[in-house]
A and B are shown apart, each in its own frame.
Chain A
Amino acid sequence: MQNESRPTLEALFEACRNREPGAERQAYLDGACGDDAELRSRVEALLASHDEATGFLEDPAVSVSREEPGARIGNYKLLQEIGEGGMGVVYMAEQEKPVRRMVAVKVIKLGMDTKQVIARFEAERQALALMDHANIARVLDAGSTDAGRPYFVMELVRGVPISEYCDTHKLATDERLGLFVDVCRAVQHAHQKGIIHRDLKPTNVLVTSHDGTPVPKIIDFGVAKATNQRLTERTLFTEFHQFIGTPEYMSPEQAEMSGLDVDTRSDIYALGVLLYQLLTGTTPVDPTDLRTAGFEEMTRMIREDQPQAPSTRISRLGADGDRIALHRSTDAGSLTRLFRGDLDWIVMKALEKDRTRRYDSASAFAEDVLRHLEDRPVEAGPPSVVYRARKFAHRNRKTVAAVLLLVLVIALGLAGTTAGFLSASAQARRSGAISDSLQDVLAMTDPARAAAQGDVESVLATVREVFGEEHATYAAVLDTLALRLHDAGDFDAASELGRESLGVWKDVHGERHPNTAAALARLGTFLRAQGDYLEAETALRQSLAIRASSPDASGPASHDARIALAELLRDRGEFAAADELLEESLAALRASPTPAHARIIATLEMRAAVQLNIPTADTRETLRALYAEANGFFPDDSPVLAMAALGYGRILFQEGDLEASEPYLREALERYRAGQDASGFYHVVALELVFQLVRGREDPESVRETDELLSEMIRFARVFWSVDDLVKNQRYYAERMVERGRIVAALDAAWDAYRTLANAKRPAEDRQSLRGDLIELSVKVSVDADLAPEVFALARDAMELARLDDPDNAFVQVALGAVLYRQGELDRAAELLDRAQESLGDSRAREARKVAPVLHTFRALVHAALGDEAVAREQLAVVRDALEGGSGGEHGPALVREVEALLERSASSNEGD
């Protein structure tokens, strides 16, 4: 008896658990159990337990690691994971009440004290509500999940971290500074409302693109404070990482364990780290060093280690420096020169260990950056160690300058050497060395640009006195000063000194000496900056002519002159001439016994950009060379490799050589998928191209791949595509899924499209045809009783919403009725189906005839389940007739069997195993 009844017990339980307790279940059990009282009481006991047990064992002893998409938290439905940080996982979610909109929900990872987190958030809620700034994402809400973990709801920002944005778009330093000023202003706004961020870092500053203009947005305001990150001695190292996430942005006072209050100046420090990273591509303290240090050592490094100035950092990075410079559309040498002075000082002032010496507000920080951008003297001075040296030097300026120069001359062994002693190239090297060292000396003795003119005079006077006006050292000093003036933006003065220096070099070495060539090249650069293109071109061409006959023809100095000339020609629109020069440059670079790959790559990139303006140019060959060159030079995971493959593949594609383009486009796609830029803009571009290649093919493998590519595009392109493009592709995907017979996936995609339109607040009419698709798919889903409950829930959501849009539509009623039947909501199902029957009646319309078998079948099912046998049998007869007439559809026979089984009161219904 027991063995026999056990499966029945389970099947009965299953059949009843989704029916409402009370009359509905009783009626069912009356029929199913007959007079087996024991079976009946066992089922009822189990069902009673089932009804009571909501929540029982649902919270695991070991709580789940994360929420799954589809889960619901409060009023929010999680749609997809969009990020994961040290503190938690971020989801894109849909808010349903009071307004329907997309938001970001951040669920905090580990068991913090949820009550305290929420209380701290509540304490700051009013202040947070006062923040209203275009560059700040609003924090909307906070609460705790069913599992007891705190979560925060924020405005959804579809952007990428600022550092990543700047690198992928190769923003030059000035553009980066512009973005940074926006960030400072937003932080200032928050500070004025009394809100401190406490966790500023690139991943919390996202950049979105509005009509091509980058707009930074700061996220997570108020979150760090609520999750209170102050360190205590007890805090374990691992927890430290989990809660803080990124120690490289932490201010010394935050790393200190004294419990000193964190204030706005900690945010200033973090902004300083952010600027450092935007400029140099590295953080002041090396993250690897930090992570491999012990806890004590780590906090000590943050509190005490003096970071290198940005210019020093770039110059010490070697090949990495060139790589970083490429992301800034320049080269490492220019970056070093650009940073030396203003930018070094600005960054180092923000990074002062002593917070009283930092900028006292974010706006003061922003102002100083703007001063630099507008070539006005900045407020920041040299960093603290140098500061003291400068004080001394200031008091004894002339003496010190002279002493330093003499020390230098002796140290370099220059004293007593004359032109005749050294070979020309050795002299050039010497001069370069003097110049570089002088620059360092001057960086220390030159407090700010305001005083520069005075310094120039005093240093020149000293040098003239010591060496006389006709000496190479005098020329080297002139060059150094000219470069500094150029870097400082005083191009007129730079050109003037450049001319004087050229005169001295000519006197000392003659017209055709490498030093004369170098002086001409420098003068050309200054003149170009000044806007005197004609004279600049003459100077640069003369410099190149001198070098052409020297052994130094393929050296870096010649290269720089050629690039400067090419840029000049490009800016004037003389693309063909620029191209020719770049070709020469490449030949010279490649001829070198030790080719400088970073330079070759930068030159190839510039050449490809120039060639796009020349219809007859072989841009394809340039991009091929770039691809080949980059592959030997960059590490395998570098985004540049993906870019190179995409560039070459795309031009092959555009030129119609589809077959050749395919491997490169696929390589690019794979690299984007695997790399840090996954889900970025170029990932989508690569996807689109591969999609275009594959979509026309008809073999099963390609068809399957097309489906997958389309789905991947939809997933990643949300951020980039317009609503119409997105919907068009979602519908196309739904169509393809119907062709594949994958109804559930089709329903999913169509529903996605429907919500995209609804979220974009498009009028209901725009959704009409999509509604038709959804009705058809929901009906198709309903005829298959074996589908998972989530599928029916999805179809129901869709149909409930369709009904709101169009309440009297009989087809919606049929579809919703069928789905409700599958969900066990018999009464409402019967009501809807009966009403549909009334309004469709005996209509001969094509649509009505199409839906008739479904309508009759589900009316039969629902009435059979409700015990209304007469109606059920009558409907069944109609369905059978239709089946015999050959219009029952593929699921017809199965559905008829389902009805018959119900009518025969068989307990093992279709829902059993």
Chain B
Amino acid sequence: MSEITNFLDQLARGDEHAAERLLEVVYSELRMLAAAKLAKEAPGHTLQPTALVHEAWLRLAGDDRRDWKSRRYFFGACAEAMRRILIERARHKARLKRGGDRDRVELEDVETDEPLATVDLLALDEALAKLTAEDPAKAELVKLRFFAGLTLDQASRTLGISPATADRHWAYARAFLHHEVRGGGER
């Protein structure tokens, strides 16, 4: 686990290269935790992303590492990793609907409680890609809020913008994404 602490320190010193490796570690850790949960839980149980991210945080960085700089990198990586895992799963589900191999049971088969029910993740991901191209700062804000679960206030501190600006960006980004997801942007 000192590995992750190293990355966080390198990042704090401005080593951009560490970011990608941090992401890799967080990603595999989250997947591993998810798989471990699966093995122990009875079938039909749901996966709790909250518990996963917090366990990952505890395991990777240790509970005492609470300064915002490290959290910023960590939650950035977490948001991205969570996004990848969820999108991966959503794609897999879409494939299954079209007739995939039904017998294999893996991570992708597990139901999540919330996001899949209320948001079309694949459409959201496309819209998010579009927003990233237009305005990366706003897209980053959305990722921190939606995928890493930060509050608007925490996200604004993470990004170094004022709460008022964050509120403005959030309103705009949300309207933009909602419009895109509903297909408004295409026509």
Residues on A facing B (Cβ under 8 Å): 10, 13-14, 17, 45-50, 52-53, 56-57, 59-65, 68, 110-111, 148, 234, 236, 238, 786-790, 913
Contacts and interface: CB of A to CB of B under 8 A. Distances in A.
B97 interface: no
A788 to B, nearest CB: 5
Contacts of A787: 164
Given A234-B41, A790-B163, A57 B146 contact: yes
B179 A63 contact: no
B176 A789 contact: no
A45 B185 CA distance: 10
B103 interface: no
25 contacts: A13-B172, A13-B175, A14-B168, A14-B172, A46-B172, A49-B175, A49-B182, A52-B178, A53-B178, A56-B119, A56-B177, A57-B142, A57-B178, A59-B118, A60-B146, A61-B82, A61-B114, A62-B50, A62-B52, A62-B147, A63-B149, A110-B51, A234-B40, A234-B41, A788-B164
Given A49-B182, A68-B153, A234-B42, A110 B175 contact: no
A715 B88 CA distance: 47
In the A-B complex, list the 10 residue pairs whose CB atoms are closest, starting with the nearest: A62-B149, A50-B175, A49-B179, A53-B178, A60-B149, A61-B115, A49-B178, A49-B175, A62-B49, A788-B164
A68 B151 contact: yes
Contacts of A46: 172, 175-176, 179
B162 interface: yes
Nearest to A50: B175
B164 A63 contact: no
Given A45-B179, A111-B48, A236 B40 contact: yes
Given A56-B174, A62-B148, A236-B40, 7 more contacts: A17-B171, A45-B184, A57-B145, A61-B83, A61-B115, A61-B147, A110-B50
A56 B52 CA distance: 23
Contacts of A238: 55
B167 to A, nearest CB: 6
Given A49-B182, A68-B151, A62 B82 contact: yes
Contact of A60 (B51, B145, B167, B168): B145
B139 interface: no
A749 to B, nearest CB: 20
A11 to B, nearest CB: 10
Nearest to A68: B151
B124 to A, nearest CB: 8
A790 B162 CA distance: 12
Interface in B103-124: 112-115, 118-119
Contact of B174 (A47, A53, A62): A53
B175 to A, nearest CB: 4
Nearest to B37: A236
A41 to B, nearest CB: 11
A58 to B, nearest CB: 8
A788 B162 contact: yes
Nearest to B171: A17
A64 B147 CA distance: 10
Nearest to B184: A45
Nearest to A59: B114
A65 B51 CA distance: 9
A183 B37 CA distance: 41
Contacts of A52: 178
A48 B162 CA distance: 26
Nearest to B115: A61
Contacts of A47: 175
Contacts of A111: 48, 50-51, 113
A52 B176 CA distance: 12
A13 to B, nearest CB: 6
B150 interface: yes
Nearest to B156: A788
Contacts of A786: 164
B86 interface: yes
Size range of the interface on B?
35 or more
A62 B77 CA distance: 13
B175 A63 contact: no
Contacts of B86: 61
Nearest to B42: A234
B121 to A, nearest CB: 8
A46 B172 CA distance: 8
A429 to B, nearest CB: 50
Contacts of B8: none
A64 B151 contact: yes
B61 interface: no
B53 A62 contact: yes
B53 to A, nearest CB: 5
A851 B148 CA distance: 47
Contacts of A110: 48, 50-51
Contacts of A57: 119, 142, 145-146, 174, 177-178
B95 interface: no
Interface in B2-52: 40-42, 48-52
Given A46-B179, A789-B167, A790-B163, A63 B40 contact: no
Contacts of B179: 45-46, 48-49
A148 B163 CA distance: 25
Nearest to B121: A61
B182 to A, nearest CB: 7
A895 B129 CA distance: 41
B175 A53 contact: yes
A207 B51 CA distance: 34
Nearest to A51: B175
Contacts of A10: 172
B65 interface: no
Contacts of B162: 788
B184 A49 contact: yes
B41 to A, nearest CB: 7
B54 interface: yes
Nearest to A911: B168
B146 A63 contact: no
A64 B149 contact: yes
Contacts of B163: 788, 790
Nearest to B55: A238
Contacts of B49: 61-63
A60 B121 CA distance: 12
A65 B50 contact: yes
A472 to B, nearest CB: 60
Q: Which residue, of A60, A68, A148, has the highest number of chain B Cβ atoms within 10 A?
A: A60
